[in-house]
Chain A
Amino acid sequence: MKEKFVCPRCGNQEERYIGYHNGIPYCRRCLSFSGRNVDITHSIQQGITLQLSYPLSEKQERVAKETLSLLKRGKNVLIHAVTGAGKTELVYDSMAYYLGLGLHVGFATPRKDVVVDLKPRIEEAFPKAKVISVFGEHSEILQGDIITLTTHQLYRYENYFDLLVLDEIDAFPYKDNPVLKSFFRKSVRGNYILLSATPSKEDVQEIKKDNGMVLTLFERYHKNPLPLPEYIHCYSFQYYFKVLSLLRKYENENKPVFIFTPTIEEGKKLFRFLSLFYSDGEFVSSQEEERRSNIERFKNGELTYLVTTSILERGVTVKDLQVIVYKADHILFTQAALVQIAGRAGRKIQAPKGDVIFLASERSTSIDGAIKEIQRYNKQRNLL
């Protein structure tokens, strides 16, 4: 009997992923992860300090301190923070501590867009550090003081990070991807911090098993409660007109609107209809080339509404944003997705409120669960 082949890179030993070239086995599962690796002996600059131009809230401060003290005791941390709590700031203290010791610090997230947005924020907080971003088409430079990168690029950093922050652990494509998870584990040689607004039970169990602790922050940075979604019942023939009348209302109030649709198809159809009446909108999805420029135009107020699939459920922050979820009872809108989407509204301190409307022909368990989950956060935010 031949010895069983185990992939040295991703640990795979399942036969379906094993191929043969001239009789020699190779792993097909992680093939696309091949390329240059970082020099792990790289040493970072001295004297990097945190210079944050704005204060943390009392509760942010407390979570940030606790995180660092857990890390110092050699523990890993999962921070469960509601959207708009200022998750990123919670790890700055810890990053500063590791950087001060000359250790390797990284900040990973599943999505490229988030990496692009993250880099300038980290640069602002750590002005003396050389911050680099590494993602698909942007992987020429691997060395820096702080590495921001997509989870796809972690394979280049085997056994590298003394502290690795992983944001949005519940986002595609990281979620349920064993290859990326294995690269994550392999890239950490010290400890890690996971960030999530909607961790699953499995996430919580997993970190507890892996010498970790869970910290929570259910208060938004501006201390206002999360906007509570409103469920509006809608017969199938009413959808278009319901959306249209909501849109008219918000246009009159001069408020920008996100309309989330379950699929790209549905989104295109709905937008085609809406654009007959309101021309100052766009449809954006992961497949659109111009999505970044359209999002920019929306942020500057050139556009007043965006029809979108879940691509915008994370990351984009716009003042006074109103949110409509079209066909919220669709199977693709899970409870976690609906909580994320609801978290888009009311994020700015100048406009902490905002409507979140779930349009659906049925109050599904996800809709119900999402509303209850947000109620629970709002109740607990003052107690913790």
Chain B
Amino acid sequence: MEPSKKYNDTTNKEIYCKSCFEEIHLSPIRRAIEKNPLLCDKCISKIEKKLVIRKFEGIPILFLSNYSGIMESWLMNFKEYKDVELAPCFLSIFLPFIRLLFPFHTFVPLPSSKERIEKRGFDHLSMILQASKLPFLSCLEKRSSGEQKNKSFIERRKDKGISLLPNASQLQGKRVVLFDDVLTTGSTFLESLKQIQKIEVKSIHGLILMDHHEGQDFQIK
């Protein structure tokens, strides 16, 4: 499950950008602060940095970027084409900021449905957190759509079938950050939040990679 270990960490070898495959030429500053550079300057500059905190259902959520550009294509390649080498790229440039804002927090990836995970072969959000070396706990589960067949359409829309796993009790007294890649309608986030609120946690925040929850796009949907 550690996609980035194989190369990119040998010092005397050329290192290549995980995104554009070009050789990375490190500036002295980057050489000093980065142990395992993943991206070239050009690709880093293509990331749309947003860094906005907005409240959703009373929970402060940090949005890192917009749903567009290079991040969007990474997510597509990562999820659809299983390019797991991209896993550490998503959070990489934001990591110092995330660590500063959320020290001693436990990150909880929002759940994908079991069938999705099975089809893909991995849980993409857990993989991002793991590749970014953030402390996390996968303690939510989402039923496959097949298991919801006996419910009515309305029930299905209301209930996304998200529930706590037994290990969720470990979160008691912890500071929790709910993590998702894209916030579109917020329904998965909301239902996950309700489940986590059943446990006595110390605090809850949200961390979203890409914001898709604004402007006309959202209104139309």
B residues whose Cβ falls under 8 Å from a Cβ of A: 1, 3, 5-7, 16, 21, 77, 81-85, 121
* Pairwise interchain contact B84-A21, C-beta atoms closer than 8 A: yes
A residues whose Cβ falls under 8 Å from a Cβ of B: 15-17, 19-23, 26, 28-29, 31-32, 34
* Pairwise interchain contact A31-B16, C-beta atoms closer than 8 A: no
Find chain B residues with CB under 8 A from A26 CB: 82
* Pairwise interchain contact A16-B21, C-beta atoms closer than 8 A: yes
Find chain B residues with CB under 8 A from A19 CB: 3, 83-85
Task: Compute how far the CA of A21 lies from the CA of B7 in the bound complex, rounded to whole angstroms.
Answer: 12
Given contacts A21-B121, A31-B83, A32-B81, 15 further A-B contacts (CB under 8 A): A15-B16, A16-B21, A17-B21, A19-B85, A20-B85, A21-B3, A21-B84, A23-B6, A26-B82, A28-B21, A28-B83, A29-B21, A31-B81, A32-B77, A34-B81
Instruction: Select one of B1, B7, B85 contacting A28, CB under 8 A.
Output: B85
CB distance from A35 to the nearest CB of B (A): 10
Task: Compute how far the CA of A32 lies from the CA of B81 in the bound complex, rounded to whole angstroms.
Answer: 6
CB distance from B34 to the nearest CB of A (A): 18
Find chain B residues with CB under 8 A from A34 CB: 81
* Pairwise interchain contact B77-A31, C-beta atoms closer than 8 A: yes
Q: Closest residue of chain A to B1, judged by CB? A: A22
Q: Closest residue of chain B to A33, judged by CB? A: B81
Instruction: Select one of B3, B21, B121 contacting A20, CB under 8 A.
Output: B3
Task: Compute how far the CA of A26 lies from the CA of B1 in the bound complex, rounded to whole angstroms.
Answer: 14
CB distance from A173 to the nearest CB of B (A): 15
Instruction: Select one of A15, A21, A23 contacting B82, CB under 8 A.
Output: A21
CB distance from A21 to the nearest CB of B (A): 5
CB distance from A73 to the nearest CB of B (A): 41
CB distance from A74 to the nearest CB of B (A): 38
* Pairwise interchain contact B7-A15, C-beta atoms closer than 8 A: yes
In the A-B complex, the 3 residue pairs with the smallest Cβ-Cβ separation, listed nearest first, are A19-B85, A16-B16, A31-B81
Q: Which of A17, A19, A32, A34 has the most CB of B within 10 A?
A: A19
Q: Closest residue of chain A to B77, judged by CB? A: A31
CB distance from A356 to the nearest CB of B (A): 36
Ordered by A's residue number, 29 sampled pairs between the chains whose C-beta atoms are within 8 Å are: A15-B7, A15-B16, A16-B16, A17-B21, A19-B3, A19-B83, A19-B84, A19-B85, A20-B3, A20-B5, A20-B6, A20-B84, A20-B85, A21-B3, A21-B82, A21-B84, A21-B121, A22-B1, A23-B6, A26-B82, A28-B21, A28-B83, A28-B85, A29-B21, A31-B81, A31-B82, A32-B77, A32-B81, A34-B81
Find chain A residues with CB under 8 A from B3 CB: 19-21
Q: Closest residue of chain B to A21, judged by CB? A: B84
Q: Closest residue of chain B to A28, judged by CB? A: B83
